[in-house]
Amino acid sequence: MGKGRSKIVMLGAPGSGKGTRAKIISERLSIPVISTGEILREEIHKGTDLGKQVKSDLDSGKLVSDETINGILKKRLSMPDCENGFILDGVPRTLTQAKYLESMGIDIDYAVSVEIEDEKIVDRLAGRRVCPNCGRGYHTDMFADSSDELCEDCGCKLAKRKDDEEETVRERLRVYYELTEPLKDYYEQSNKLIKVSGDDKLSEIAKNVLRAMGLD
């Protein structure tokens, strides 16, 4: 796969490790990761009108409206860094969003589905921490105690995302199975689906994802 064949969608449940794998592919192909979740959290952080409008959806684990997401996508994909391709992380999440991409003339090359069992997800997200400054993700397993939970890159105290509370995680999973999982069939029908394990050892993740994509 070379340049020009690099319009990639990441699929997978919340906490499956989509973001980690998106970053690995992004570095290998030098194309940006576009995460609608990140864009929305940034808007909330900055207190914009959009941020105010979507805050309660994110806090409760509901999806933001297709209209809002499609607007964000249109704007972001028109930026010059998307010219050689991009990786969509967390979008499309509904059939309407997938069809909107097509209506913009965007032909997705690959949909990478990160596969993991449900029981692992709740545990994983309960221990997930993020750096509030640079967004780098961690798991509490790495740390002996909570006073050690500092970002290795910028030294900031790590935070827990509000929507990683157990009840909200269960709602996010419910929404995922209802609205997003059907997209796997959708991309499979056009032979675009690539499945990767979300349960690899840390040291194997990069090798396995790049191999599955024919990039090693």
Give me the residues that bind ligand ADP (CB under 6 A), please: 14-15, 36-37, 40, 57-58, 61-64, 69, 90-91, 93, 97, 163, 172
Minimum CB separation of residue 205 from ligand ADP in Å reads: 17
Minimum CB separation of residue 3 from ligand ADP in Å reads: 25
Instruction: Give yes or no: 161 in active site.
Output: yes
Which whole-number Å values give the CA distances from 26 to 60, 105, 177, in the listed order? Answer: 30, 22, 26
Residue 4 or 47: which CB sits closer to ligand ADP? Answer: 47
Residue 37 or 85: which CB sits closer to ligand ADP? Answer: 37
- 97, 66 in Cβ contact below 8 A? yes
Minimum CB separation of residue 68 from ligand ADP in Å reads: 8
| Sheet of strand 86-89, all strands in order from the earlier edge strand to the far edge | 33-35, 86-89, 7-12, 110-115, 193-197
Minimum CB separation of residue 172 from ligand ADP in Å reads: 5
Residue type, 36: T
Instruction: Give yes or no: 172 in active site.
Output: yes
Instruction: Give yes or no: 93 in active site.
Output: yes
Residue 25 or 63: which CB sits closer to ligand ADP? Answer: 63
Please pick, among 41, 124, 128, 129, the residue that the annotation labels catalytic.
128
- CA pair distance 122, 172, nearest whole angstrom: 10
Say whether 102 sits in a helix, a strand or coil: helix
- 160-166 contacts, C-beta under 8 A, 24 or more apart: 160/128, 160/129, 160/130, 161/128, 161/130, 162/58, 162/59, 163/58, 163/59, 163/60, 163/61, 164/125, 164/126, 164/128, 166/122, 166/126
Which residue minimizes CB distance to ligand ADP? 37
Please pick, among 93, 99, 195, 211, the residue that the annotation labels catalytic.
93
Residue 61 or 85: which CB sits closer to ligand ADP? Answer: 61
Residue 3 or 177: which CB sits closer to ligand ADP? Answer: 177
Instruction: Give yes or no: 207 in active site.
Output: no
Please pick, among 7, 18, 21, 129, the residue that the annotation labels catalytic.
18
The one-character DSSP state at 150 is B
Active-site annotation, residues: 18, 93, 128, 161, 172
